[in-house]
């Protein structure tokens, strides 16, 4: 512990982001780094706890508490305080294949479980992580490392999101020959097309890592849609093992009157089309420019729809959430070290508030129907306030409140209500067993499916979750796949 009194001497300080009304005019990343002296002071706030909850990676009340990939947070905080940046990067890479991703897009459950956070603002773990990895790339410390010996075993990875990439990286490290199949035109999965460029730069961050992995010997095949232009039996015939990492991409729909009107889209349709446009694939066919945009649903995906619509130049922005507004402080039933379910404005809401004068979210509200114009395009929607009440089974359910209906303008509606599970066509094609929630049936920490030599990891196994959980699962599946291939494994 470099500075025993650091948590007393220094206040929590985070970098100042680019101004909201400035950044809505481009798709550049909006985060800045702090100067080194301030970062070292923030590292000094880490107390080197005897029991550091920040890296425990447990599920408490169904939410992540601590880092799911067990980052050695107190160690690299101390190294940053001491100015030993290269060693800090080495410690970070021991548990995290892609800290440049998590340092940007992870909601930081580690900070929610920081011991200092019991009675003071938590250590700025996420910002320090991003600073370490970005400095590593800038200094040339991140170099390709191909295995010294190849095992002769061939492994296929289906899906190149965070789970697929981490599985590929670890299996390549073990000496296997790894090929990653991706149905999109670029690798990265969720990282490429599910997260907007202003949060995670595609060229400078995502493709940089992909190219780095290629130099380490991993092969990527894009436009490879298994079951359509790739025969599923190829994996059983030509590869010694396969890891399925296709994500949970089946969106939750809103089957109400007017759902088929033009202008009502799933969030991922909108976000994917926009990122392709940013990457030079031509203009997006789904634009919010000059329109009253309504985003239905919260979470990161809803926020990304808000931020993207702001960059399109929308006329107005409304975000509808069915849950109650969170409290400003932890509620009594949400104690530390649980993830703090408290009110905050993310980058998209900050931008909307700067432009339109207020947080765009309304709470405990749902949509009853969409109303179209003579051309079959959505022009309005009807909302109603709800109240959460217990039914006869003791479950909380939403009850509409009479007299609260409102008709609101909407020429673009984006459905960001989460995901139901993996798309089923591939799973049926290869005849892999699924569970009651339609996810691939594979035991946690084992990752073995009903088909010998086929493993599953990430959202397609556990359901919709965080990028950092996907990395955890990809690493775990790689370990068990290596054990299956070689009889033993040295992978963590």
Average pLDDT over all residues of the chain: 96
> What is d(CA 380, CA 373) in angstroms, rounded to the nearest whole number?
9
pLDDT at 430: 87
Torsion from C-alpha of 45, 48, 54, 60, nearest 10 degrees: -120
Each residue's pLDDT tens digit, 341-394: 999 999 999 999 999 999 999 999 999 999 999 999 999 999 999 999 999 988
Residue 145 lies in a domain: no
Looking at the fold, whether 109 and 229 belong to one and the same domain comes out as no
pLDDT band of residue 287 (cuts 50, 70, 90) is: very high
CATH code of the domain containing 375: 3.50.50.60
Looking at the fold, whether 306 and 224 belong to one and the same domain comes out as no
Looking at the fold, whether 279 and 399 belong to one and the same domain comes out as yes
> What is d(CA 338, CA 334) in angstroms, rounded to the nearest whole number?
6
Domains: count for the chain: 3
Above 90 in pLDDT, residue 233?
no
Residue 491 lies in a domain: no
> What is d(CA 306, CA 314) in angstroms, rounded to the nearest whole number?
10
Of 89, 111, 139, which marks where a domain is finished? 139
Each residue's pLDDT tens digit, 419-436: 999 999 889 988 899 999
DSSP SS3 for 94:
coil
Of 139, 167, 187, which marks where a domain is finished? 139
> What is d(CA 29, CA 364) in angstroms, rounded to the nearest whole number?
32
Looking at the fold, whether 362 and 275 belong to one and the same domain comes out as yes
Looking at the fold, whether 17 and 126 belong to one and the same domain comes out as yes
pLDDT band of residue 1 (cuts 50, 70, 90) is: low
pLDDT at 401: 97
Each residue's pLDDT tens digit, 436-461: 999 999 988 899 999 999 999 999 99
């Amino acid at each position: 512990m470099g500075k025993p009194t650091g948590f007393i001497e220094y206040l929590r300080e985070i970098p100042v982001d680019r101004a909201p009304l400035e950044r809505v005019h481009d798709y550049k990343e909006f985060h800045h780094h702090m100067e080194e002296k301030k970062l070292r002071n923030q590292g000094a706030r880490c107390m080197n706890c005897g029991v550091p909850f920040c890296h425990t990676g447990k599920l408490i009340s169904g939410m992540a508490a601590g880092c799911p990939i067990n980052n050695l947070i107190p160690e690299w905080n101390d190294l940053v305080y001491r100015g030993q940046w290269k060693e800090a990067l080495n410690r970070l890479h021991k548990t995290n294949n892609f800290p440049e991703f998590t340092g940007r897009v992870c909601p930081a459950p580690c900070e929610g479980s920081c011991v200092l956070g019991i009675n003071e603002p938590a250590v700025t773990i996420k910002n320090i992580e991003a600073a370490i990895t970005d400095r590593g790339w800038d200094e040339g410390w991140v170099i390709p490392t191909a295995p010294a010996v190849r095992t002769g075993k061939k492994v296929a990875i289906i899906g190149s999101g965070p789970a697929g990439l981490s599985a590929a990286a670890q299996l390549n490290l073990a000496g296997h020959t790894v090929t990653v199949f991706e149905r999109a035109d670029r690798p990265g999965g969720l990282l490429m097309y599910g997260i907007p460029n202003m949060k995670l730069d595609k060229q400078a961050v995502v493709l940089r890592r992909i190219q780095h992995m290629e130099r380490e010997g991993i092969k990527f095949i894009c436009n490879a849609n298994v079951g359509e232009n790739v025969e599923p039996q190829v994996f059983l015939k030509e590869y010694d093992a396969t890891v399925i990492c296709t994500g949970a991409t089946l969106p939750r729909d809103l089957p109400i009157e007017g759902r088929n009107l033009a202008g009502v889209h799933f969030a991922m349709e909108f976000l994917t089309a926009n990122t392709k446009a940013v990457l030079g694939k031509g203009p997006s066919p789904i634009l919010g420019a000059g329109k009253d945009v309504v985003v239905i649903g919260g979470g990161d995906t809803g926020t990304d729809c808000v931020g993207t619509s702001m960059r399109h130049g929308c006329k107005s922005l409304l975000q509808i959430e069915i849950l109650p507004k969170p409290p400003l402080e932890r509620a009594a039933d949400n104690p530390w070290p649980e993830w703090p379910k408290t009110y905050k404005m993310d980058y998209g809401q900050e931008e909307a508030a700067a432009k339109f004068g207020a947080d765009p979210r309304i709470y405990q509200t749902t949509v009853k129907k969409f109303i179209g114009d003579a051309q079959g395009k959505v022009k309005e929607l009807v909302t109603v306030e709800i109240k959460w009440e217990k039914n006869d089974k003791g479950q909380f359910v939403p009850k509409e409140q009479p007299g609260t209906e409102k008709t609101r303008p909407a020429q673009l509606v984006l459905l960001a209500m989460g995901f139901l599970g993996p798309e089923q066509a591939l799973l049926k094609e290869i005849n892999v067993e699924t569970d009651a929630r339609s996810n691939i049936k594979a035991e946690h920490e084992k990752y073995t499916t009903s088909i010998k030599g086929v493993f599953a990891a990430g959202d397609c196994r556990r359901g919709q979750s965080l990028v950092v959980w996907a990395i955890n699962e990809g690493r775990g599946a790689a370990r068990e796949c290596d054990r299956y291939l070689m009889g033993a494994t040295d992978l963590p």
